[in-house]
Structure 1
Amino acid sequence: MARPGRDPRFVDAILDWPPTWFLARLLLVSAYLLGGLVKLTDWPGAVAEQAHFGMTPPALWAALTIAVELAGSALLLAGRLVWLGAGALGVFTLLAACTANAFWTMPAGPERFMATNAFFEHLGLIGGLVLAALVSELEAGRDRRRA
């Protein structure tokens, strides 16, 4: 039975289970990992995607996108410089959302509705990245106090 003001025991067990933090970070960066790997294995498609969004030169932007998606994800998964990986992915996500989901430039209708939802979903993802960086900093502070 849950104790007042405390998490139920099964929640404590999940949150205290060592792989939970890694799995949460893996879920958070899964879209970036997949996106970076797909772009890496389909270079012409990656360049075409950047050209579609008006990014010039598209090959440079494709390379930068791949680098940020894979390097940022790797930093979060490794638990090293999480603030840097989360920050890079957060800035990338904000720029991508503004480029690909500029709902404020669209007339009312289903496309604007979908772009609005996608834009705010991306903001939520940025919030998750900020939370990952905060948790990482809290863990690092706790480790420093123990030393």
Structure 2
Amino acid sequence: MINRPSFVSAILEWRPTWLLARLALTSAYLLGGIVKLTDWQGAVAEQAHFGMSPPAFWAGLTIALELIGPVLILTGRLVWLGAGMLGVFTLLAAFTANAFWAMPAGQDRFMATNAFFEHIGLIGGFIAIAMIAQRREANA
């Protein structure tokens, strides 16, 4: 048995922790989807900025992914699908928006490198959430 502080065990065993962890992981996507939905022209302009064509199609797809993925994860229905959607989306976004390897050395490259690996960390979080959900379903 692992010897961990009792307060850590209490937090991990507290029923709302599972929901709060999923909300924390998906909050940026929910917010991004809502902001884009309420600012359609800005969402289209963002896609055009990254060279996505046609930008309106990609804006609509981005909004759908940023809203549907978190809803699946938060409701506990098809968590694997929501996590997979957001994981693939995040990987594609990392390569599209943070191509640090194509930048000259300097502050912009440093920031893009950090952002790229932060995206990789999020992908790990989606994998972990899918794995935990699968185990929870198997133990239910």
State if a TM-score over 0.5 links the two structures.
Answer: yes
- Picking from 56, 59, 71, the partner of 1:59 is 56
1:70-85 mapped onto 2 (5 Å cutoff): 70-85=67-82
Q: Is 2:111 aligned against 1:111?
A: no
Distance 1:50 1:120 in 2: 21
CA distance in 2, matches of 1:60, 1:138: 36
Q: TM-score, normalised by structure 1?
A: 0.93
Greater Cα radius of gyration, structure 1 or 2: 1
Q: How does 1:1-147 map to 2 (within 5 A)?
A: 5-143=2-140
% of aligned pairs identical? 70
- The number of equivalent residue pairs is 140
Deviations 1:2-47 (A, max 9, x none): xx83221111111111110000000000000000000000000000
Question: 1:31 is aligned with what amino acid?
Answer: A
Structure 2 unaligned segments of length 5 or more: list them. none
Q: RMSD value over aligned CA atoms?
A: 0.9
Runs of 4+ in structure 1 displaced over 3 angstroms? none
Distance 2:127 2:103 in 1: 29
Question: 2-side partners of 1:138 and 1:18: how far apart?
Answer: 16
TM norm structure 2: 0.98
* Matched letter for residue 99 of structure 1: T
Provide Cα deviations, 1:60-119, integer angstroms capped at 9, x if missing partner. Answer: 000000000100000000011000000000000000010000001111111111100000
Structure 1 gap ranges (5+): none
C-alpha distance in 2 between matches for 1:23 and 1:114: 28
Distance of 2:3 and 2:68 partners within structure 1: 37
